[in-house]
């Protein structure tokens, strides 16, 4: 199954095509405020490099938040329109879970996105050896100290990843002490990871109706139920 994956929740936008053999192609651009102008031409160029037509795509996956308001709307609208026009299944994926998986490690992973206004978007995952993820602290958009209070109750080393570290790393490391492991602010959600995560779920028939998929913005504490992380329609606001 060939899946088109889209990630526009952050300033580092990406699109990818994946199948059961792995990542066939990925295009990445630091594109703050230029997601709309970049996305479709990037997809078209990627398909041309693969000598594929749009009809070769058999499913669509999209990063659905938390993330930037405009970027999320563009990515989700594009994915929904593609799925509708091509009559292929669509799945929404938590941006934070995609970021947690980018690190490629097992154990406790705390993905963090800069939500501005003194807040971060974060969630705590336990990644197993087989790649499955248990969400211990559901996605929250809160002040860093509130998030750390939720995370601190889970014992063991915690890998911190994402651009939320740029402003808040010192406070978070102080809260966790020597349990904190910095994966660096340079890690970002990637479309390739969104697609590879969504692929087995699409293969087994998981999908969401395009009109039902909603972005998860989160200017207040929000929880993404597990079934919605698998594409159950997004977070009603």
Span 25-49, pLDDT tens digits: 999 988 666 788 889 999 999 999 9
Q: How far apart are CA 196 and CA 193, in angstroms?
A: 5
Tokens of 104: 């490629």
First to last CA, the chain: 32
Quote the pTM value. 0.86
215 with 72: CB under 8 angstroms? yes
Q: Are residues 78 and 131 in the same domain?
A: no
Q: Mapping DSSP to helix (H, G, I), strand (E, B) and coil, where does residue 91 land?
A: strand
CATH number, domain of 15, equals: 3.30.420.40
Same domain, residue pair 120 and 88: no
pLDDT in tens, 108-141: 999 999 888 888 999 999 999 888 899 999 998 8
Once rounded to an integer, what is the mean pLDDT over residues 223-230?
Answer: 38
Mean pLDDT of 69-89: 95
Question: Does residue 235 fall inside a structural domain?
Answer: no
Distance (Å, whole) CA 76 – CA 168 = 29
Residues 91 and 30 in one domain: yes
Report yes or no on 75 lying in a domain.
yes
Residue located via tokens 């390739």: 192
Judge contact between 39 and 68, C-beta under 8 A: no
CA distances 148 to 21, 123, 151, 185, 233, Å, are 38, 10, 5, 17, 28
**218 lies in which domain range?**
3-95+188-229
Query: Is the domain of 88 the same as that of 197?
Result: yes
Q: Determine the pLDDT at residue 233.
A: 40
Quickly list H helices, 69-190. Answer: 69-86, 95-102, 144-151, 165-176
Do 78 and 193 fall within a single domain? yes
Contact 29, 43 (CB under 8 A): no
- Answer yes or no: is 237 within a domain: no
Residues 89 and 196 in one domain: yes
Query: Tens digits of per-residue pLDDT, 137-165?
Result: 999 888 888 899 899 999 999 999 998 88
Residues 9 and 90 reside in one and the same domain:
yes
DSSP code for 204 = T
Instruction: For residue 184, name the pLDDT band (cuts at 50, 70, 90).
Output: low
Residues 60, 3 contacting (CB under 8 angstroms):
yes
Contact 208, 231 (CB under 8 A): yes
Distance separating alpha carbons of residues 106 and 157, to the nearest angstrom: 11
The total number of structural domains in the chain stands at 2
pLDDT at residue 185 in the model: 63
**Domain assignment present for 236:** no
CB 83 within 8 A of CB 89: yes
Average predicted confidence (pLDDT) for the chain: 87
The percent of residues in the chain predicted with pLDDT above 90, rounded, is 59
Helix (H) or strand (E) holding 5: strand 3-7
What's the rounded Cα separation, in Å, for the pair 86 and 59? Answer: 9
């Amino acid at each position: 199954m060939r899946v088109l994956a889209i990630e526009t929740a952050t300033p580092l936008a990406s699109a990818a095509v994946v199948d059961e053999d792995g990542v066939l192609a990925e295009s990445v651009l630091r594109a703050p405020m230029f997601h709309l102008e970049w996305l479709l031409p990037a997809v078209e160029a990627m398909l041309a490099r693969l000598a594929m037509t749009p009809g070769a795509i058999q499913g669509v996956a999209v990063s659905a938040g938390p993330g930037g308001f405009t970027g999320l709307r563009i990515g989700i609208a594009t994915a929904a329109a593609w799925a509708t026009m091509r009559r292929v299944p669509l799945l929404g994926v938590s941006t934070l879970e995609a970021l947690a998986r980018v690190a490629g490690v097992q154990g406790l992973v705390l993905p963090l996105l800069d939500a501005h206004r003194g807040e971060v978007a974060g969630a705590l995952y336990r990644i197993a050896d087989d790649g499955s993820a248990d969400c211990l602290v559901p996605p929250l958009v809160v002040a860093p100290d509130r998030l750390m209070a939720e995370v601190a109750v889970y014992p063991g080393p915690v890998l911190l990843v994402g651009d939320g570290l740029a402003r808040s790393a010192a406070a978070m490391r102080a809260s966790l002490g020597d349990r904190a492991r910095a994966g660096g602010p340079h890690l970002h959600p990637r479309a390739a990871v969104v697609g590879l995560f969504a692929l087995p779920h699409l293969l087994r028939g998981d999908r969401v109706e395009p009109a039902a998929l909603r972005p998860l913005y989160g200017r207040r504490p929000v929880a993404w139920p597990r079934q919605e992380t698998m594409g159950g329609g997004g977070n009603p606001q």
